[in-house]
Chains A and B, each alone.
Chain A
Amino acid sequence: MSAAMQNFAARPEAAEGPVVAVRDLRAWYRLRLFGVDREVKAVDGITFEVRRDEIYGLAGESSSGKSTLVKTIAGAIKPPLEIVDGEIKFSFMPGTKGLSRAPPEIAARVRWRHLSYVMQGSMSVLNPVRRVGASFVDFAARHMGLDKAGFEAAVIAHLARVNLPGSVLMAYPHELSGGMRQRVAIALATICRPDFVIADEPTTALDVVVQKDVLGMFRSIQREMGSSVLFVTHDMGVHAHLTDRLGIMYAGRLVEEARTPDLFARPRHPYTRHLIHSLPSIGDDKPRIGLEGSPPSLASPPSGCRFHPRCAFAAERCRVEVPPMESVGPDHRVACFEKDRVEVTP
């Protein structure tokens, strides 16, 4: 173990601040196609933190940059994605700036033990030529300090929490259904009880009955350890029932953040309002309308407020100035010039 690593363990105060603090983060895809440079500004100036002992939710339009943001935090950056600006600080790695800039041996120790990451579409992360059981041994065995039988029992007990039988350990990934692979990925990411779990659309391939068990598992291991979860999903029903605070992204930026019940009860950003009001439900025959206008291009985003071409509240100023993120109540921030008008409009 390196000296720096021992330091982390020996510094209890490190555990008190937020588990991760992100400041002015910009992460862009820089592409060069046929000699033309192109920048996709998928994360463009985001500041937020995930506290200890909470589940922080992230929602927003498809392609708004949710996965790029969590990928960057998890240090899973590869070209053409680059951190262009900003800072990421973890409580369990004081003195270093984010995983992608940490020395490799520290990054390796931190992964799985302190931080784990369930990628979107994680059905495909498992090694296709190794049985599922071997992946558990590869990733988790050395962190758990159990003998072989104890380890296997612990794995089987943990799989049961996501509704999977122990027999999946003998299977190859392609022999499992999409939802079964997704649950294996979740079980792998949570079995070591890390301080911080990042999960990107982890339940999209699950039926609603199994989804409920899996969400319950996320909450109970979070509660057992007082740990933190960053949970990305476009399913607002899931956010309502699971997350403590919720951030809404639009076109590479965070546009609103609040305690989850407050966000549902009193959304202040027009895009958040749209998200909440477009929730479909069974038995409801009203045809659902998508948002008017086309999604913004992240290569040449709209000027000023990026939502202005689609916003019913847009004023002159919205086209030229970028609305700053401002506090409007306890734990409630919003980036909108017309936030007061939005609040009183039925």
Chain B
Amino acid sequence: MIGALLELDRVSMTYTRGGLLSRTRVEAVIDVSFRLEAAKPEIFSIIGESGSGKSTLARIVLALQAPTQGAVRFKGKDLAQMRGDVERHAFMAAVQPVFQNPFEVFNPLKRLDRYLYATCKRFAGAQGETAVQAAADTALRQVGLSLAEVRGRYPHELSGGQLQRVAIARALASGPSLLIADEPVSMVDASLRASIVNLFRKLRDELGLSIVYITHDLATAYSISDRIIIMQKGRVVESGAARTVLANPQHPYSKTLKDAVLEPLAPGARPLFAR
């Protein structure tokens, strides 16, 4: 299996929920396999039903939890075999998360530049004030910001979209080869959404980064992804080239999903939920 950046091999995750008397088993992820090639950076989107196991998959790929069955390999190495701090550290630098709500990620009382400095020191091996600042500036420039704009500022002093870009810059500071972005744009308006997904495209094309993009927004998934999988009740029900799948979905659930997108109305048309 030479050449896989990330490989999921028949991954399943079963949770048990409830107390001693009323245990229920939840099959959150059932038999999911896919692989991203190291030589071919891509944006790989996961869309699907709420509760279908997307965030569970994200946590498994980030090694925050282990699957109950199957294997995940990053650059050929099984995550379950990861031993010791050095290996973990290298993995964490290479596979970085971006979460939904940037306001929750940053402590409101902590200056944003501090976060970047800490990541640059810890993961990028930057030593000394000048080197750390230079590394932070490089990461910020990759997202269209600069250290001059961010230095000394607190989270509330930036807009949601700017803050999400700082979060992405922080993820980039460790020099990752894979980003796991779990609903990174659902909190922002259409205009910022466009600027963030355009940034993802640029990271793929210019830095050769692969991105797993989890979203409920079919329009951005269509516009930026190379491949897509559609999940329902823990299973992948359809997969393929993003444009082919979204332009002409085959599985009944994929069709239902596409049909449910609310498009703005043609003049005079009746709203779906009119009074």
Interface residues of A (CB under 8 A from B): 29, 31, 33, 40, 53-55, 60-63, 120-121, 124, 167, 170-171, 175-180, 183, 201, 204-212, 215-216, 218-219, 223, 234-238, 240-242, 244, 260-261, 264-265, 274-276, 278-285, 287-291, 295, 297, 299
CA distance A63 to B256 in the complex (A): 33
Given A208-B216, A208-B262: A295 touches B159 (CB 8 Å cut-off): yes
Complex contact B194–A281 (CB within 8 A): no
Per-position 1/0 for B13-30, Cβ under 8 A of A:
001011100101010000
Complex Cα spacing A215 to B273, Å: 7
Residues of B within 8 A of A287 (CB): 194, 198, 223
Per a CB cutoff under 8 Å, which of B188, B222, B265 touches A62? Answer: B188
Which B residues are in CB contact (< 8 Å) with A280? 190, 193-194, 219-220, 223
Closest residue of B by beta carbon distance from A283 = B247
B256–A209 touching, CB < 8 Å: yes
Q: Using Cβ atoms and an 8 Å threshold, which residues of chain A touch B198?
A: 287-288
Contacts of A276 in B (CB 8 A): 264
Q: Can you list, as one digit per residue, whether each of B263-275 has a CB less than 8 Å from chain A (1) or not (0)? A: 1110100011111
Report chain B residues within 8 Å CB of A260.
271
Q: How far is the CB of A298 from chain B (nearest CB, A)?
A: 9
Q: Tell me which residues across on chain A come within 8 A of B223, comparing CB atoms.
A: 280, 284-285, 287-288
Q: Which residues of B contact A (CB under 8 A)?
A: 15, 17-19, 22, 24, 26, 47-51, 54-55, 100-101, 103-104, 154, 156-157, 159-162, 183, 186-195, 198, 216, 218-220, 222-223, 246-247, 256-258, 260-265, 267, 271-275
Q: Is the CB of B51 within 8 A of A223?
A: no
Give Cα distance in the complex from A60 to B162, angstroms: 16
Q: List 7 A-B contacts (CB under 8 A).
A: A61-B189, A167-B17, A177-B54, A207-B49, A208-B262, A281-B219, A283-B247
Which residues of chain A are within 8 angstroms of B260 by Cβ–Cβ distance?
A: 207-209, 211-212
B17, B190, B192, B218: which contacts A171 (Cβ < 8 A)? Answer: B17
| B contact residues around A234 at 8 Å (CB) | 188-190
Establish whether residues A288 and B262, one from each chain, have CB atoms under 8 Å apart when the complex forms.
no
| Total A-B Cβ pairs within 8 A | 181
Contact A121 B50 (CB under 8 A): no
Q: How far is the CB of B171 from chain A (nearest CB, A)?
A: 19
- A31–B186 alpha-carbon span in the complex (Å): 28
Residue in chain A with minimal CB distance to B231 = A207
Return the chain A residue nearest B273 by Cβ.
A219
A62 CA / B162 CA spacing, docked (Å) = 10
A167-B24 CB under 8 A given contacts A241-B271, A264-B264, A280-B223: yes
Given A61-B189, A170-B18: A237 and B264 within 8 A (CB)? yes
- Residues on A with C-beta less than 8 A from B24 are 167, 170
Are B194 and A289 closer than 8 Å at their CB atoms?
Answer: yes
- Other-chain residue from B188, B216, B273 in contact with A241 (beta carbon distance below 8 A): B273
Smallest CB gap from B18: residue in A: A170
Give the 6 A-B residue pairs with the shortest CB-CB distance, closest first: A179-B50, A288-B194, A237-B262, A62-B160, A234-B189, A63-B159
8 Å CB contact of B271 from A205, A212, A242, A290: A242
The residue on B at minimum CB distance from A279 is B264
Q: How far is the CA of A257 from the CA of B22 in the complex (A)?
A: 51
A205 to B183, CA, bound (A): 8
Given contacts A171-B18, A235-B262, A264-B264, 4 further A-B contacts (CB under 8 A): A207-B260, A219-B273, A236-B264, A278-B194
Chain A residues whose CB sits within 8 angstroms of the CB of B220 once the complex forms: 280
Cα distance A62–B261 when bound, in Å?
A: 22
Within 8 Å by CB of A290, from B48, B49, B55, B194, lies B194
Q: Are A210 and B264 in contact, CB atoms less than 8 angstroms apart?
A: no
* Contact between chains at B216 and A295 (CB < 8 Å): no
Contact between B104 and A121, CB atoms less than 8 A apart: yes
Q: Do residues B262 and A210 form an inter-chain contact, with CB atoms below 8 A?
A: no
User: B51 touching A275 by the CB < 8 A rule?
Assistant: no
Q: Which residue of A lies closest to B217 (CB)?
A: A280
With contacts A62-B161, A280-B194, A282-B219 taken as known, whether A207 is within 8 angstroms of B273 at the C-beta atoms is: no
CB contact under 8 A between A180 and B51, given known A62-B192, A278-B190, A288-B194: yes
Nearest A residue (CB) for B111: A33
Report B120 CB to chain A, min CB distance, Å. Answer: 24
Taken together as a complex, chains A and B put the C-alpha atoms of A178 and B49 apart, in Å, by: 11
Let me know if A207 and B216 touch, CB within 8 A. yes
Min Cβ gap B137→A in Å is 18
Alpha-carbon separation in the docked complex, A215 to B272 (Å): 9
Select B190's contact among A215, A241, A283, A288, beta carbons within 8 Å: A288
Q: Which residues on the A side are within 8 Å of B26 (C-beta)?
A: 175
**Which residue in chain A gives the minimum CB-CB distance to B15?**
A175
Do the beta carbons of A241 and B262 come within 8 Å of each other?
A: yes
Q: Which residues of B contact A120 (CB under 8 A)?
A: 187
Chain B residues with CB under 8 Å of A209's CB are 49, 256-257, 260
Whole-angstrom distance from the CB of A45 to the nearest CB of chain B?
A: 20
B257: A residues at CB distance < 8 A: 207-209
If A62-B189, A241-B272 touch, whether A177 touches B162 (CB-CB below 8 Å) is no
Q: Is the CB of B262 within 8 A of A205?
A: no
The verdict on A179 contacting B51 (CB below 8 Å), with A237-B262, A285-B223 known, is yes
Is the pair A290, B192 in contact by a Cβ cutoff of 8 Å? yes
Q: Which of chain A's residues have a CB closer than 8 A to the CB of B51?
A: 176-177, 179-180
Chain A: CB-nearest residue to B19: A170
Chain A residue nearest to B164 (CB atoms) is A62
Q: In the complex, how many angstroms separate the beta carbon of A173 from the nearest chain B beta carbon?
A: 12
Residues from chain A with a CB closer than 8 A to the CB of B193 are 280, 288
Residue of B nearest to A175 (CB): B17
